[in-house]
Amino acid sequence: MKIGAVYIRVSTEDQARDGYSLDAQLKAIKKYAQSNNIIIESKYIFCDEGISGRKAEKRPAFMEMIKQAKSKPKKFDLILVHKFDRFSRNREDSVVYKALLKKEYNIPVISISEPLDPDDKMSVIMEAFLEAMAEYYSLNLSGEVKKGQLEKHSKGQLQTRPSFGYNVSNNRLIINNSEAKIVKLIFEQYTIEHLSMMQICKNLNNLKIKTKSGNSFENRTIYYILNNPTYIGKLRYTPNKRKGTYSFDDLNTIIVNGDHEPIINIELWNMTQNELAKNNKWKKPKQHIDVDPKTWIKGIVRCKDCGCTMVMNGKNKIRCNGYNKGKCNNNVMINVQDIYKLIIETIRETITHGIINNIIEKKEKCATNQYEILIDKLYQLKEKEKRIKEAYQDGIDTKEEYKENKRMILKEIEKINKEIKNLDNSKQEKERKKEIIENGKKVYEILLNDKISIKEKNDVVHHLINKIEFDKNNNLLELYYN
């Protein structure tokens, strides 16, 4: 009597409906084993559920079976499958692993639905034919799935897991209010507060906020969220994209309008994309970016009427680019040297007398967002405290378990209460001004140094100053620090 291992696999609900369910496969294999004097032990039943048969290395139970087949002394004498396509839908994998098992360890793979004599020449041909058919079916199915995905996407229908900030109901994205607050916070901290992706990750992980997958936040998580058009009511699809990879500049990417409610407004989205273009180290610089600017105020002076950048017009003057495009009435030109003097004089006043008139930050909104997230966490913890008390009262938890669970929750509540207390805007404001003054000293020295290139000066000015707004009605230039 021989000892047999069992390998069963199912990849889709359709296969389950067509009689390929795991239970159906196992039942048929056990019946075959009983009729052929083969013993099956439960520890040698290997099952991959909801996994494609295309790649062996992505099937954990399959790889564990191969590992155990190599063990000495030998654990089982043969492997039973319902059909050969359960073993593999990739001819290369099938041939490699069957040859390995048969030649190296004398363990044949037997299909109970396709009985073949391993020593018969015609059986070898038939087995190869069955493997080829299985691979054809898999490749054809993959093509049909992609075709269906493209069709669904063109109609604005969801076909992936929901992005962080959304749940799914009736195949439609519905805002998850708790997660949506975090999405807004991420956009605002990056774009308005100018926090790095790493600092945003630290903030979220300190609050023990998890991703949809239950993982901690990483730089790439923040990067993906900031580039995800789902948050402005769009859906994105890139045909033939390799799973787990992304390229937001892929020319094959198709973006369509979704039928879900946006979380981020278009103004904040556009500001974020501009910020990413400036700071993003993963992205190649755009072709039109001037690597050798003619002035060190390039991209920093903006028209108050339309928000467009003031660009060079002639050798020494700048004018609203919105006017150049025909969408703004501000046709006033400003001398570049006058702006140089304004910036240098303003920085000097700041570092000498601590005069800071304007700081670009909307911390009221950001702080409120963060406050709401903390309050949500507090509410969830208090609800959890109620549940563990009920579990103790119902006799599910012991007194000791209840005490330990309560201690941990109260510790977390105390930590969050401290975080709420630390949301002190006045303290943040003082620290921010101190940072501007320190950075201002360095920038001031660089701007007065004739040996430093215009490009370097432009870089440091952008680091210190967010924008200079030109108000044509009052003939006023107003400087705003980052």
Residue 234, strand partner residues: 257
Q: Does residue 309 sit in the same domain as residue 453? A: yes
* Burial (CB count <10 Å: 0-12, 13-18, 19+), residue 339: buried
Q: Which domain holds residue 104?
A: 2-145
The reply to whether 287 falls in a domain is no
The reply to whether 314 falls in a domain is yes
The reply to whether 159 falls in a domain is no
What would the pLDDT profile of 397-433 be if each residue is shown by its tens digit?
788 888 888 898 899 898 888 887 776 555 566 777 8
Q: Is the pLDDT of residue 2 over 80?
A: yes
Highest mean pLDDT among 38-42, 125-129, 362-366, 431-435: 38-42
pLDDT category at 84 given cuts 50, 70, 90 is confident
Structure tokens at 102: 């048969």
| AA identity, residue 429 | E
Number of domains forming the structure of the chain: 4
pLDDT of residue 360: 59
Q: Does residue 370 sit in the same domain as residue 237? A: no
Asked if 192 and 361 touch (Cβ cutoff 8 Å), the reply is: yes
Q: Does residue 21 sit in the same domain as residue 117? A: yes
Q: Does residue 408 sit in the same domain as residue 307? A: no
pLDDT category at 125 given cuts 50, 70, 90 is low
* Averaged pLDDT for residues 81-93: 72
pLDDT of residue 377: 83
Distances (CA, A) of 337 to 295, 307, 382, 414, 429: 10, 22, 61, 56, 32
What would the pLDDT profile of 270-293 be if each residue is shown by its tens digit?
999 888 888 755 444 444 444 567
| CATH number, residue 56 | 3.40.50.1390
Q: Is the pLDDT of residue 227 over 50?
A: yes
The reply to whether 155 falls in a domain is no
| CATH number, residue 263 | 3.90.1750.20
pLDDT category at 136 given cuts 50, 70, 90 is low
358 or 258: which carries more pLDDT confidence?
A: 258
pLDDT of residue 295: 92
Q: Does residue 336 sit in the same domain as residue 269? A: no
The reply to whether 406 falls in a domain is yes
Structure tokens at 5: 């291992």
Q: Is the pLDDT of residue 200 over 80?
A: yes
